Amino acid sequence: MTKEQHRELLAYARACIASRFDGIQPHLSQESEYREKKGIFVSLHERGELRGCIGYVTGIKPLGDSIRDMAQAAAFRDSRFPALRAGELKGLEIEISVLSELILISGPEDVIIGRDGLLLEHPYGSGLLLPQVATDWNWDARTFVGQVCRKAGLNKEAWKDKDAQLYRFTAEVFGESDENG
């Protein structure tokens, strides 16, 4: 996507959150890329700290609809945080991650830090970490795989279990701080 499309989608995500307070329903242009079904996550940050992050792993809705739904979910339904208050919106920084298809992998040797995000599906839990998490925390591939297991509520070696499936994916990540400076 272009920088202009990034800016438009970020502004749309912000307007979708604001619509809960002001009742104004935002509109998104009808570009063909916005109708593609892709997995996406919307992350909200307040003073550099996570304030909400929710998404779809796979493309179940058109991109524009997914951004609307996940921006509102990150702001109002992330169970780790209280619902956003109107006064907090101005101080939020929004980041969108558009996910690629999932690729089944065998372990840490198949992971490239900075490129890959991870999804663990296990009979006793699942967890997902976006690509930027490993670089933000300066993790190596083995630590990253262990941490996605922990995110699933499992021990750090759970990816080795016979019924576990470990996937990698890439993401096109863009945020308001990227677009504004």
Each residue of 13-39: pLDDT tens digit?
999 999 999 999 999 998 889 999 999
Beta strands in the chain (DSSP E): 40-46, 49-56, 92-99, 103-105, 117-122, 125-129, 165-169, 171-175
Structure confidence at residue 69 (pLDDT): 97
Report if pTM > 0.95.
no
Angle at 38 between CA 32 and CA 44, to 5 degrees: 105
Residues above pLDDT 90, as percent of the chain = 94
Structure confidence at residue 179 (pLDDT): 61
Structure confidence at residue 31 (pLDDT): 86
Comparing C-alpha atoms, which of 26, 24, 76 is closest to residue 52? Answer: 76
Structure confidence at residue 181 (pLDDT): 41
What domains sit in the chain, N to C, each tagged with a CATH number?
3-99 (3.30.700.20), 103-169 (3.30.1490.150)
User: Residue 178 CB: number of other CB atoms within 10 A?
Assistant: 14
- State the burial class of residue 180 (Cβ atoms within 10 Å of its Cβ: 0-12, 13-18, 19+): exposed
Which segments of the chain have a pLDDT < 50?
Answer: 181
Structure confidence at residue 180 (pLDDT): 56
